[in-house]
Amino acid sequence: MAEMCHWLVTGLTLDEGSKDHMVRLPSSTDSIADAFQARDSKLQGAGHNRNVKELMPYYPPAPPPKTGYHRYVFVLLASNSDDDEPKKPKERPHWGYGTVGKGMRDWAKDNGLTPVGANFFYAENKEQ
């Protein structure tokens, strides 16, 4: 099983209690970071300090032809500290660790992050 970092964004928050904190998500995932940035710049004027950063630009799913279904996993990680920002992975495959099936776990541990949620979907190339 190959692991690939397809997108890495930091500083996303989910605050309750105000419509100002709601994020209108666009129809395309490559502009989700922009949606959070727009919300956060609006909130900064109201005394909120938000900092959304895209550490790895979005790389859409692209399963090779004739390889069947591929599973793409979204993992939500929470920081164990408010002080440190995660470091960008060295490369996308295996999150820069070169070990099959452990890259994201090793990267999260090294950056003081804990998985708090996950979801997945399947995709396949139209040429089968």
pLDDT score at 58: 84
B/e letters for 30-67, b = 16+ CB within 10 Å, e = fewer, are eebbeebbebbeebeeeebebebebeeeeeeeebeeee
Whether residue 24 is predicted with pLDDT greater than 80 in this model: the reply is: no
pLDDT score at 70: 92
In this prediction the pTM is 0.69
Instruction: Tell which wins on pLDDT, 12 or 19.
Output: 12
Predicted confidence band of residue 9 (pLDDT cuts 50, 70, 90): confident
Structure tokens at 7: 């997108």
